[in-house]
Amino acid sequence: MSNEINPLNVAAFEYGKIVSAQLASLCDPFLKAMGLTTFLYGRAFYDGRYIILSNNVEWVKSWLLEISTIENTSLHTTLRSVPFEEPFYYMWCTTPDSKLTQLHNSLGIWHGFDINFRLEDSVEGWSFSTSQDRYQINNLYLNNVKVFHRFILHLKENSPSLFEIKDSKQLAVFKNNSDISFQSSLSHKEEVNNFLSSLPSNGYSLMINNSIIKLSPREVECIFHFSQGKTAKEIARILSISPRTVEDYIKNVKLKTGQSSKSALADMLKDDLFKWL
């Protein structure tokens, strides 16, 4: 291990030391309740600068000492895959990267779960991890995604100054500027979507109020387009049917689901069905 932090990153480390104690007081109660041990916040800018903060200051120090670039690592691939407008989840315990994994493990940091967001000028990541013996932790992550989102919002709302870049000296720099601009994680996405759209479907089954209801493909299409702000006439043109038929399909879905308004219907189906379309 190198003994000295890059002079360009010394100020970033000093800031990380100051923030570490504050993060610990904010995060440790949540981490303890979830059976976790370590929290890390990172934000990588497109110009090669980045900030890294943690309740474990040794993680920050070791990172700045050891990681001079993320080029050609699984982290680099992950950051380039973060899309716009929605979070990107990543379990780095299941996709080991030799140097990064060795660094984490040497500090007692295992089984990590990252929630990443793409911003206009950077990619922002919120990372949670635990000790070596928590082998079943992945189920906790997957079953409590909304809990982690709520905690992130809590941090941002109650301690926004911790994550604001007030001085460029807070930012560290990589030895080599790694491109983290958006890159689709699926280069052949169009072909895959064409294949999926060609699959025959007899309808969609949903659990509503402890009962299974079945919606026809046309019913789902009408509600989906309505949720995107389309009028009955616009939907009719898209589907090559009459506006009256569109209204009939929507009326049928209302009866099946027990929802009285189209907007409430769209909201109800948004999480259960539309995310798969």
User: 248 pLDDT exceeds 90?
Assistant: yes
- Note the pLDDT of residue 29: 94
- Note the pLDDT of residue 182: 72
Tokens of 139: 């189920």
User: 273 pLDDT exceeds 70?
Assistant: no
Tokens of 48: 């090669």
Confidence of residue 106 (pLDDT cuts 50, 70, 90): confident
Query: Which pairs with CB-CB distance under 8 Å and at least 24 residues apart come from 260-263?
Result: 262/223, 262/226
Place of tokens 């497109």: 46
3-state secondary structure of 176: coil
- Are 202 and 213 in contact by the 8 Å Cβ rule? The answer is no
- Note the pLDDT of residue 198: 61
Confidence of residue 226 (pLDDT cuts 50, 70, 90): confident
Confidence of residue 256 (pLDDT cuts 50, 70, 90): confident
User: 274 pLDDT exceeds 90?
Assistant: no
- Are 34 and 143 in contact by the 8 Å Cβ rule? The answer is no
The C-alpha atoms of residue 15 and residue 171 are separated, in whole angstroms, by 9
Domain extent listing, the chain: 7-173, 201-276
- Are 99 and 18 in contact by the 8 Å Cβ rule? The answer is no
Q: How large is the average pLDDT for residues 73-81?
A: 84
* Mean per-residue pLDDT over the chain, rounded: 83
- Note the pLDDT of residue 193: 54
The C-alpha atoms of residue 264 and residue 151 are separated, in whole angstroms, by 27
Other beta carbons less than 10 A from residue 152's beta carbon: 17
Q: What is the residue type of 167?
A: D
Confirm whether 7-173 and 201-276 share one CATH topology.
no
How do residues 32-72 score in pLDDT, each as one tens digit? 999 999 999 999 998 889 999 999 999 999 999 888 888 87
Angle, nearest 10°, between helix axes 217-227 and 262-272?
110
- Note the pLDDT of residue 53: 95
The C-alpha atoms of residue 95 and residue 74 are separated, in whole angstroms, by 7
The C-alpha atoms of residue 128 and residue 40 are separated, in whole angstroms, by 7
- Are 182 and 83 in contact by the 8 Å Cβ rule? The answer is yes
Q: Quick one: what percent of the chain has pLDDT higher than 90? A: 30
CATH architecture of 7-173: 2-Layer Sandwich (3.30)
- Note the pLDDT of residue 196: 53
Considering the domain 201-276 in this protein, what is its CATH number? 1.10.10.10
Place of tokens 């929290």: 39
How do residues 170-183 score in pLDDT, each as one tens digit? 899 987 777 787 76
Q: Where are the beta strands (DSSP E) in the chain?
A: 38-45, 49-54, 88-90, 110-118, 122-130, 172-173, 204-208, 211-215
- Are 73 and 97 in contact by the 8 Å Cβ rule? The answer is yes
- Note the pLDDT of residue 8: 86
Task: Name the pTM for this structure.
Answer: 0.66
Polymer length in residues for the chain: 277
Phi, psi of 170 (to 5 degrees): -70, -20
- Note the pLDDT of residue 269: 74
- Note the pLDDT of residue 1: 47
How do residues 229-243 score in pLDDT, each as one tens digit? 788 898 888 888 899
